[in-house]
Amino acid sequence: MMRLPRRVVAARPAAFRATLMAVAVALAVSALGTAVFTVTLGESVSDGLLNFLTFGGLAALTAGVLSWELASSRVCPRCRREGPRGAAGCANCGYDLRSRRRFACSEGHVVAYDPGMCDCGRRLLELGPVPVLRHAMGTLLLALAVVAALGIAALLAAALQ
């Protein structure tokens, strides 16, 4: 369901591991939840399996998207290497991971991680900080909206049977 280019996986092993772990935990919790639910309501095994596939899949999707987004805060934007959580600077290229300064040409020619000049002769202007948390929250809300939409569709499909 989540197609990742091999290149991305190789470049971000920690993010990939964290995402796999989150998906596995979500699936395990969903399996346990639907098993309890099925037994409590006395539903058939096939109903329970269907519930698990629906809600387990959605939970795994949400957990995967969220953990991948949160793990991206550990990646150096300049050289794309992963660093330890909360590192002040990139161990590979020395980029300041706390301030994460970015510079851009006012004409939109280039975005750089160091101050300097654009090829067009304009001085690069510093950009505002990247809102990592807001970006992650946006992704989470989108994932929840998808989950809600699929859940409503599943309910409608069940009601029409």
Residues near Zn ion (CB under 5 A): 76, 78-79, 90, 92-93, 95, 105, 107, 109, 118, 120, 122
Burial of 22 (0-12, 13-18, 19+ CB in 10 A): buried
Least gap, CB of 125 to Zn ion (angstroms):
10
Angle between helices 57-71 and 132-160 (to 10 degrees): 170
Nearer to Zn ion, 63 or 75 (CB): 75
Nearer to Zn ion, 63 or 76 (CB): 76
Using alpha carbons only, give the angle 142, 143, 148 rounded to the nearest 5 degrees: 95
Least gap, CB of 104 to Zn ion (angstroms):
9
Least gap, CB of 78 to Zn ion (angstroms):
5
CA separation for the pair 46, 72 (Å, rounded): 38
What are the distances in angstroms from CA 34 to CA 29, 103, 120?
9, 50, 60
Least gap, CB of 132 to Zn ion (angstroms):
16
Nearer to Zn ion, 68 or 95 (CB): 95
Nearer to Zn ion, 100 or 135 (CB): 100
Alpha helices in the chain (DSSP H): 6-11, 13-41, 45-51, 57-71, 132-160
Give the list of residues 6+ apart from residue 47 with CB closer than 8 angstroms, or none.
Answer: 38
Nearer to Zn ion, 21 or 132 (CB): 132
Least gap, CB of 18 to Zn ion (angstroms):
19
**Which residue type occupies 146?**
V
